[in-house]
Amino acid sequence: MVIIMSKIVVCNQKMFLSYDEAEKISNELLKYNDENLIICPSALNMDLYSKYNIGAQDCYYEDSGSFTGEISPYHLALKGVKYVIVGHSERRCYDDDKTINKKILAAQKNKLIPILCIGESKYDRDLNRTAEVLKRQLTIGLKNVKDEIYIAYEPAWLIGKNKSLSINEIEDTCTYIRKLLKGLRISNYKLLYGGSVTDLTIENIISNKLDGYLVGKTCCDVDKLLKIIKCTKM
Binding site for ligand PGA (CB under 6 A): 12, 154, 159-160, 194-197, 214-218
Residue 40 CA to residue 189 CA, distance in Å, equals 19
Q: Provide the minimum distance between the beta carbon of 224 and ligand PGA in the complex, in angstroms, as a whole number.
A: 11
Q: Does the active-site annotation cover 88?
A: yes
Residue number, 36 or 75, with CB nearest to ligand PGA: 36
Residue number, 74 or 193, with CB nearest to ligand PGA: 193
Q: Provide the minimum distance between the beta carbon of 94 and ligand PGA in the complex, in angstroms, as a whole number.
A: 15
Active-site residue, selected from the candidate residues 62, 120, 148, 154: 154
Q: Does the active-site annotation cover 169?
A: no
CB distance 23 to 51 below 8 Å: no
> Among candidates 218, 180, 217, which has minimal Cα distance to 199?
218
Residue 63 CA to residue 2 CA, distance in Å, equals 45
Residue number, 42 or 143, with CB nearest to ligand PGA: 42
Q: Provide the minimum distance between the beta carbon of 223 and ligand PGA in the complex, in angstroms, as a whole number.
A: 16
SS3 211: coil
Q: Is residue 63 exposed (0-12), middle (13-18) or buried (19+ Cβ within 10 Å)?
A: middle
Q: Provide the minimum distance between the beta carbon of 66 and ligand PGA in the complex, in angstroms, as a whole number.
A: 30
Residue number, 143 or 190, with CB nearest to ligand PGA: 190
Q: Is residue 144 exposed (0-12), middle (13-18) or buried (19+ Cβ within 10 Å)?
A: exposed
Q: Provide the minimum distance between the beta carbon of 22 and ligand PGA in the complex, in angstroms, as a whole number.
A: 16
Active-site residue, selected from the candidate residues 28, 88, 90, 169: 88
Distances (CA, A) of 35 to 38, 39, 53: 8, 11, 7
The vertex-147 CA angle with 145 and 149, nearest 5°, equals: 85
Q: What is the DSSP string of 24-37?
A: HHHHHHGGG--TTE
User: How does DSSP classify residue 226?
Assistant: H
Residue number, 74 or 150, with CB nearest to ligand PGA: 150
Catalytic residue numbers read 88, 154
